[in-house]
A and B are shown apart, each in its own frame.
Chain A
């Protein structure tokens, strides 16, 4: 499995501010994804982070609210912009390894965000 780290692990933010979450993988991966898990809910895919191009967003998520960068095959950032209490969630990055023909995916440790 890939070793995935995320920073910060948790944060408490004021409404109206923005937070950037970093995801670092120990090896090159083909695909990186960002998920959100709202309190008491399951995981929902926000977007696929594409290396060198704009991310692909799922229905209900837009670039202005969740800008994503992926400058190389081992690193991505997700920004939660103009936050409101409804953005309080766990944010998780996941990766699919390069060279595998299957769909095993591994998750980072997550970032617990609380918006006041």
Chain B
């Protein structure tokens, strides 16, 4: 059974801090790893990673995948209160599981002013 584990489960920081969120996975026939930000109901797409060692970057957010060690990290620099959200990691597999996402438990990030 495919499995995704995120750590930490929650994190409280102050504005300006840098945070690193972790995601490890065990999946048969891995295709990609995706990061989402969830503030109210709908997860908002952040990144999709398919290749090891290639950093994806968007503003203050960046992410990288290690397919050998089966994990990914999401970095947020110079955090702002608007970064407060649940960050979800999901993996997508191929074969009969094509298109389906298996999610981790999420990391609750709270940024205080």
Task: Please tell me which one of the listed residues B31, B43, B104, B105 contacts residue A103 in the complex, with CB atoms under 8 A apart.
Answer: B31
Contact assessment for B41 and A90 in the assembled complex, using a CB-CB cutoff below 8 Å? yes
A33 touches B32 (CB 8 A): no
Tell me the number of A-to-B contacts counted with CB atoms below 8 Å.
60
Stretch at the interface among B13-21, B59-67, B76-84, B95-103: B95-103
> Do residues B41 and A103 form an inter-chain contact, with CB atoms below 8 A?
no
CB distance from A32 to the nearest CB of B (A): 9
Contacts of B110 in A (CB 8 A): none
* Number of residues of chain A lying within 8 A (CB) of chain B: 25
**B7 interface hit (Cβ, 8 Å):** no
| Tally of B interface residues using CB under 8 Å | 23
Cβ contacts under 8 Å, A30 to chain B: 99
The answer to whether A103 and B34 touch (CB under 8 A), given A109-B41, A110-B42, is yes
Chain A 31-45 per-residue mask, 1 if CB under 8 angstroms from chain B, else 0: 101000000011111
A31 to B92: give the CA distance in the assembly, Å.
13
Judge whether B85 is part of the interface by a CB distance below 8 angstroms: no
For chain A residues 9-55, which have a beta carbon within 8 Å of chain B? 30-31, 33, 41-45, 48
B42 to A31, Cβ gap below 8 A?
no
| B42: A residues at CB distance < 8 A | 92, 107-110
The answer, yes or no, to whether B50 is at the interface (CB within 8 Å) is: yes
Partner of B100, one of A48, A106, A108, A109: A48
CB of A70 within 8 Å of the partner chain: no
Contact with A along B12-41 (1 / 0, CB 8 A): 000000000000000000011010100011
